[in-house]
């Protein structure tokens, strides 16, 4: 199975939603909290091309944030990504 990593902050509502969706789908993920890193936005941009949290990676490939994760699930493409 694919590895899921999610960069989060505690104050982010979309992070809470993304974690809830992954829990609902019973998918394991690694949460990387960036609350205490003042330069986290620059690091996220370098890693994923995005400035906001959550930033979600599947097998090291950035997929975006909560909206993109939700869309992939709704369209049935998340299972395909995880199976690849």
* CATH class held by domain 4-83: alpha beta
Per 3-state DSSP, the chain is made up of helix, strand and coil in percentages (nearest 5) of 45, 20, 35
Dump pLDDT digits (tens) for 55-76.
Answer: 999 999 999 999 999 999 999 9
Dump pLDDT digits (tens) for 10-39.
Answer: 999 999 999 999 999 999 999 999 998 888
Q: Token pair for residue 29?
A: 């993920």
- Three-state DSSP at 7 gives strand
Q: Are 69 and 18 in contact (CB under 8 A)?
A: yes
pLDDT band at 1 (very low <50, low <70, confident <90, very high): confident
Q: What pairs with residue 7 in β-bridges? A: 32, 55
- Please check the confidence at residue 43 and state whether its pLDDT lies above 90: no
pTM of the model: 0.92
């Amino acid at each position: 199975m694919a590895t899921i990593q999610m960069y989060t902050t505690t104050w982010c509502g979309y992070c809470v939603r993304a974690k809830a969706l992954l829990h609902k789908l019973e998918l394991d993920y690694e949460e990387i909290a960036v609350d205490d890193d003042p330069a986290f936005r620059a690091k996220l941009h370098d890693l994923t091309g995005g400035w906001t949290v959550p930033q979600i990676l599947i097998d090291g490939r950035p997929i975006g944030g909560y909206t993109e994760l939700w869309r992939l699930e709704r369209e049935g493409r998340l299972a395909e990504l995880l199976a690849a």
